[in-house]
Amino acid sequence: MRKRFIKKNIIVFLMTSMIPVLVGCNYLSKGQKENRLKELLREKYGEEFVVRELYENGAIQAWCYPIQDNSLVFSVTTSSKMEKIEMDEYIQRIVGRQIDSEIQPLANNCLGNCYVSTNIPLGATTGFPSHDKSTFTFDSLLDYEKDNNIPNSMMPGSKAPQLSKNI
């Protein structure tokens, strides 16, 4: 009877200890996930990035920025397997900065000292035709929306509201 009890306990112990081993085979540490994300971004954009924060909620989400500009923070999402980037807002942040630099002097002139920040709610740009920063423009994002039948989330420059001193 005692031998049977010992065998049963050994079998139960082995079975319960195997579950974490089997589940843990695909587990990456937080540092490994950050390194993998940096690798995916480097492959996509050809430059080095810093992972500022990394979260997991079924998918991997992170806040990142390019090494040479820590103020250009953008979000990145990838699946838990981290095979490819599902969505990132790097292109939108670069174009948003271009827009801000044009609007900021007008806003300061009309409204006094103020802060302008552009948000481009485009979503995934995984199919964007180029990953060369010199091609990231407002017009190229509009063309991307049009070419991919994405509902227009941005207003073309010719239809943008004009600031005036009468505001």
Q: pLDDT tens across 9-35, in order? A: 667 666 666 555 445 445 778 889 999
For 33-89, how does the pLDDT look when each residue is reduced to its tens digit (9 = 90+)?
999 999 999 999 999 999 999 999 889 999 999 999 999 999 999 988 898 899 999
pLDDT score of 76? 93
Decide if 86 contacts 126 (C-beta within 8 A): yes
Residue type, 61: Q
pLDDT score of 36? 94
* pLDDT tops 50 at residue 161: no
Q: 0.85 cut: is pTM over it? A: no
pLDDT score of 13? 67
Alpha helices in 25-89 (DSSP H): 30-45
pLDDT score of 41? 94
For 84-107, how does the pLDDT look when each residue is reduced to its tens digit (9 = 90+)?
899 999 988 999 999 898 888 888
Rounded CA separation 29/31 (Å)? 5
pLDDT score of 153? 62
pLDDT score of 42? 94
Rounded CA separation 62/89 (Å)? 11
Q: Which helix (H) or strand (E) holds 85?
A: strand 85-88
Quick one: pLDDT band at residue 162, thresholds 50, 70, 90? very low
From the CA atom positions of the chain, what is the Rg in Å? 24
Residue count (the chain): 167
pLDDT score of 5? 65
Rounded CA separation 120/88 (Å)? 12
